[in-house]
Amino acid sequence: MNKNHSTIILGIETSCDETAAAVVEIKNGSPRVEAGKFKILSNVVLSQINTHKKYGGVVPEIAARMHLENMLPVVEQALDESKKTPKQIDKIAVTVGPGLVTSLLVGVETAKNLAYAWRKPIVGVNHLKAHLYANWLENKTIKFPALALIVSGGHTEIIYMKNKTSLKKIGQTVDDAAGEAFDKVAQLLDLPYPGGPEVSKLAKQGDAKKFNFPRPMLNSKDYNFSFSGLKTAVLYQSQKIKKLDKKTKANICASFQQAAIDVLVSKTLKAAEQYKVKTIMLSGGVAANELLRETLAQKTKELKLDFFKPAQFLCTDNATMIAAAATFEKPTDWKKIKVDSNLEI
C-alpha cells in the first residue's frame, strides 16, 4: 500500500436511541486506527433522549421510527462536515449488534443500501468491541497485554486483550448491567431519565458513608459482577425512610454509587493483577461517570499501569468508534451483513 494512501470510512450507529454517523480518515497507509494515523473528519450524534424521557426509558417502536426519520439527514450531515463526497468513501462500517433489534435494523439496512448503491465494501461491527476500540482514538500507543472494563446501560464486562485483535471475555454481570442499576436507582428515587448522570450529579451533594450498601460478589473468585442485589438493597432502604427529602436522596445516591464503583474497580484491579497487564482501559457509557474515571485512574497510577479512557463524546454511543473498530475487521459482501441483537464479544 502506498505510504501516503488514506482510507476514508463512513461509520453508522443506531443500536439504541442515538442516530449517529461519522467520517474517519485513516492516514499514511495504516491498515488500522493507530496513534497519529487517523483523523476524525466528522462525528454527528442525534440523541433521542428528550423523546424517551417522558417514558422513563427507550421505547423501541418510537426509537425505530425516529431512527428512520433521522438516519439519512445524519449521514448527509456527517458527509458535509467531513467535506467528503460518497465517491471518496472507501468503506462503510455499521453496528450489527448487540442492541435493540428494531433500532439496529435501521442503521444496518441504510448501510447495506448505501454499500450497494455506492458499490463500497461494508464492515459489520460489534458495538461492544467498538466501545473498546474507542480507546485507540486517544492517540497514544497501547501496551499489551491489556484489560478493558466495558460498562454501559446494557453491559458490564471485563475483556482481556493479549494483543490488539485478541479479545477474551473474562468476566461479566450475572444480572443487571452497571448502567441499568444506575437507571433503576434513579427510577426508585423519582429522578429523571437517563438516571446515570442524575444519580452521579446528586451523589456529589451526598455522603457516601451514610448507608452501607452491599458490595455484591466483591470477594468472589471470578471476575463477574452482580448489581441486582445492590439495587434491591437501595429499594428496601428507600422504603424504610418515610420522607425522602433531597438530602436523603443525595446520601442514597452517593452511597449506592460508591458501592457500585467499589466493585467495578476492585474486580478490574484484581483481574489486572492476575493477568499481569500493562494497560487498563475504561469504555462504555458509564465510563463517563466521573468518580469511576477518577478512582480507576488513581488506582492504576498507584500500580504504575497505563490508563486509557476515551474522551466523553467517545464514551457514549457514537459512530466514530464504529468506524475505528471497523479497521480491525474484514469487509464483507453487503448480503452477508445481518443484525444480531444478542451479539457477544
Partner 1 sequence: MKKHVTKTEKQTIALGKKFAKSLKGGEVIALSGNLGAGKTIFTKGLAEGLGVKKIVTSPTFILMNVYDVKNKKRKGDEPFLTPQLGKKKSKTSSFTRSTSPIKKLIHIDCYRLNSAQELETLEQLNILTKKTQ
209's grid cell: 458513608
Which residues inside 210-239 make contact with partner 1, applying CB under 8 A?
224, 228-229, 231-232, 235-236
Instruction: Please say whether the beta carbons of 103 and 63 come within 8 A.
Output: yes
- Tell me if the bond preceding 145 is cis, omega within 30° of 0: yes
Residues 6 or more apart in contact with residue 199 via CB below 8 angstroms: 182, 185, 186, 189, 191, 253, 256, 257
Q: Does 144 bind partner 1 (CB under 8 A)?
A: no
The one among 7, 25, 70, 99 contacting partner 1 by CB under 8 A = 99
In the complex, what is the shortest distance from the CB of residue 100 to partner 1, in angstroms, rounded to a whole number?
6
Indicate the residue among 79 and 100 with the shorter CB distance to partner 1: 100
Which residues inside 3-22 make contact with partner 1, applying CB under 8 A?
16
- Buried/exposed 61-97: b ≥16 CB within 10 Å, e otherwise: eebbebbbebbeebbeebbeebebeeeebbbbbbbbb
Stretch that binds partner 1, among 79-87, 179-187, 207-215, 310-318 (CB under 8 A): 179-187
Which residues inside 314-343 make contact with partner 1, applying CB under 8 A?
338-342
Per-residue x/- track, 36-75, partner 1 (CB under 8 A) = -------------------xxxxxxx--------------
Indicate the residue among 34 and 180 with the shorter CB distance to partner 1: 180
> What is the SS3 assignment for 294?
helix
Instruction: Please say whether the beta carbons of 93 and 123 come within 8 A.
Output: yes
Indicate the residue among 79 and 94 with the shorter CB distance to partner 1: 94
Spatial separation of the C-alpha atoms in residues 21 and 38, rounded to whole Å: 17
241's grid cell: 425512610
In the complex, what is the shortest distance from the CB of residue 228 to partner 1, in angstroms, rounded to a whole number?
6
Residues near partner 1 (CB under 8 A): 16, 55-61, 98-102, 104-105, 153-155, 172-177, 180, 184, 187-188, 224, 228-229, 231-232, 235-236, 338-342
